[in-house]
């Protein structure tokens, strides 16, 4: 456990190296792009009412094309699987299936969504798969590869496949952290050889792959480091076991190159002040944790795989982008219902639309489409739920704000729609953005 001196030292480091301020020109550039489509967004509200989710298929497919092209150029033989948990709307899945990606699912419910979308290449990951979920995977053995999470799941998958009289393709997940909360996922690298030996006793499970995942990757370092560890493990593995590996799934977690945008309360220094019970007045400004372009991810991962994996295993590389593909493919439209002060308004939509109190800590521009401007003005913009934590933002881009104004929060495609909650307010419909 950290001593008081360790905690104070860390606090000094945080305060000495504050989070980078967001370049306001970057935010204004995104606003400018959105305002070019202001009439289209407003017409959706006229036709369908407010609030709305807006699905931007053009943005989704542009990202899918960019990701696939860059990763194919750098890594060669790859297969892309969209992580359905990042946005579970059927339009998203169907669009990407038509494009040619596979789907990564984490439950029987998501597996049904993938099958209904017509997907014929599905990986089924996640801990704690139930027996009915494994039975469903076994029924669709020609479409589904199960990424097993434990020795117990190996036994349960064998039973499910045996009941169906089928053999099913499978991989095993490797935990990237043997301590802490992430030990929930997969088996330790040190147990991989034992797992291969155990799998020999289960003839209905064809163990032919490995998977690992690191999350919230602003750069590829965590993935690169684990690939090096994996290479050392593979080097010590029995040659027959290495020869059985047809694919290695390097996960996803790639952060969009725009970076992570934060309110003061979301920065390390903001959290530190909050924990101390001191909430100073801070200027109306925003912060960022920079990310790297997707080509940097691809190039560095390619070098790591070439150095540590390719000399030992000839396999296809799987990858599971979710957030990176879908982040810019869904937007939120809401309307101002009430103005209680010059710097306080209430909207017709609650943040149950996005499932969590995101904008207390995260920042994204709120754009007044009715009174457009590239200047941001301070104003607390609340939703209409009966909780004070129902906040869309602390400012808006616009020349003013009044009841009836239509507001856009762009680029809310990742881990918002999938986390929506049936809480107080009904959930809006999803409408496509016409190009």
Mean pLDDT of 405-434: 96
pLDDT digits (tens, 9 = 90+) for 362-391: 999 999 999 999 999 999 999 999 999 999
CATH top-level class for 57-258+293-326? alpha beta
Position 1 pLDDT exceeds 70? no
Domain boundaries, the chain: 4-54+328-432, 57-258+293-326
Q: What is the mean pLDDT of residues 38-43?
A: 97
Fold classified for 4-54+328-432? Lyase, Ornithine Decarboxylase; Chain A, domain 1 (2.40.37)
For range 118-128, the mean pLDDT: 97
**pLDDT value, residue 402:** 98
Task: Give pLDDT, residue 128.
Answer: 96
| pLDDT tens per residue, range 291-333 | 999 999 999 999 999 999 999 999 999 999 999 999 999 999 9
* Mean pLDDT of the residues in the chain: 96
Q: What is the pTM of this model?
A: 0.95
Q: What is the pLDDT of residue 122?
A: 98
- Counting residues of the chain whose pLDDT is more than 70, the rounded percentage is 98
Q: How confident is the model at residue 276 (pLDDT cuts 50, 70, 90)?
A: confident
Is-contact 182 174, C-beta < 8 A?
no
CB count, 10 Å around CB of 259? 17
Instruction: For 145-176, write each residue's pLDDT tens digit.
Output: 999 999 999 999 999 999 999 999 999 999 99
Mean pLDDT of 45-60: 98
Please say if the pLDDT value at position 208 is more than 80.
yes
| Distance from C-alpha of 227 to C-alpha of 243, rounded to nearest angstrom | 18
Name the pLDDT band for 2 (thresholds 50, 70, 90). low
- Choose among 315, 270, 331: nearest CA to 60: 331
Q: Given a cut of 80, is residue 282 above it in pLDDT?
A: no
Dihedral angle over CA of 103, 104, 108, 114, nearest 10: -10
Q: How confident is the model at residue 3 (pLDDT cuts 50, 70, 90)?
A: confident
- Here the tokens at position 394 are 């602390």
Chain segment 185-205, per-residue pLDDT in tens: 999 999 999 999 999 999 999
pLDDT band at 38 (very low <50, low <70, confident <90, very high): very high
């Amino acid at each position: 456990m950290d001593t008081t001196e360790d905690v104070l030292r860390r606090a000094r480091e945080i305060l000495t190296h504050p989070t980078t301020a967001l370049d306001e020109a970057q935010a204004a550039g995104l606003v400018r792009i959105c305002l070019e489509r202001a009439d289209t967004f407003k017409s959706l509200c006229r036709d369908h009412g407010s609030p709305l989710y807006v699905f931007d298929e053009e943005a989704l497919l542009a990202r899918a094309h960019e990701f696939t092209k860059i990763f194919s150029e750098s890594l060669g033989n790859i297969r892309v699987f969209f992580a359905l948990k990042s946005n579970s709307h059927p339009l998203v899945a169907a669009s990407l299936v038509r494009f040619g990606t596979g789907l990564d699912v984490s439950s029987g419910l998501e597996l049904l969504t993938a099958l209904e979308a017509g997907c014929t290449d599905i990986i089924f990951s996640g801990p704690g798969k139930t027996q009915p979920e494994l039975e469903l995977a076994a029924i669709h053995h020609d479409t589904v590869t199960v990424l097993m999470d434990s020795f117990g799941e190996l036994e349960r998958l064998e039973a499910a496949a045996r009941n169906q009289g089928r053999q099913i393709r499978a991989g095993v997940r490797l935990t990237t952290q043997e301590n802490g909360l992430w030990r929930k996922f997969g088996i330790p690298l040190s147990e991989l050889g034992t797992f291969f030996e155990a799998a020999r006793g289960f003839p209905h499970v064809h163990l032919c792959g490995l998977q690992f995942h690191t999350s919230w990757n602003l750069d590829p370092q965590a993935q690169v480091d684990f690939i090096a560890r994996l290479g050392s493990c593979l080097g010590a593995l029995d040659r027959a076991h290495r020869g059985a590996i047809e694919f290695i799934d390097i996960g996803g977690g790639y952060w969009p190159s725009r970076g992570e945008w934060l309110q003061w309360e979301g920065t390390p220094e903001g959290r530190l002040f909050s924990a101390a019970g001191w909430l100073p007045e801070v200027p109306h400004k925003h912060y960022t944790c920079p990310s790297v372009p997707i080509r940097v991810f691809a190039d560095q991962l390619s070098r790591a795989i070439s150095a540590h994996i390719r000399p030992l295993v000839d396999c296809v590389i799987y990858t599971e982008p979710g957030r990176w593909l879908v982040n810019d493919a869904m937007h939120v439209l809401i309307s101002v219902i009430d103005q209680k002060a010059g710097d306080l308004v209430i909207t017709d939509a609650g943040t149950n639309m996005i499932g969590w109190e995101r904008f207390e800590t995260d920042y994204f521009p709120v754009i007044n489409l009715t009174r457009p401007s590239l200047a941001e003005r301070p104003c607390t913009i609340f939703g209409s739920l009966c909780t004070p934590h129902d906040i869309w933002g602390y400012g808006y881009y616009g020349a003013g704000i009044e009841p009836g104004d239509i507001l856009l929060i762009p680029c809310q495609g990742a881990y918002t729609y999938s986390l929506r909650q049936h809480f107080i307010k009904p959930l809006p419909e999803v409408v496509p953005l016409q190009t």
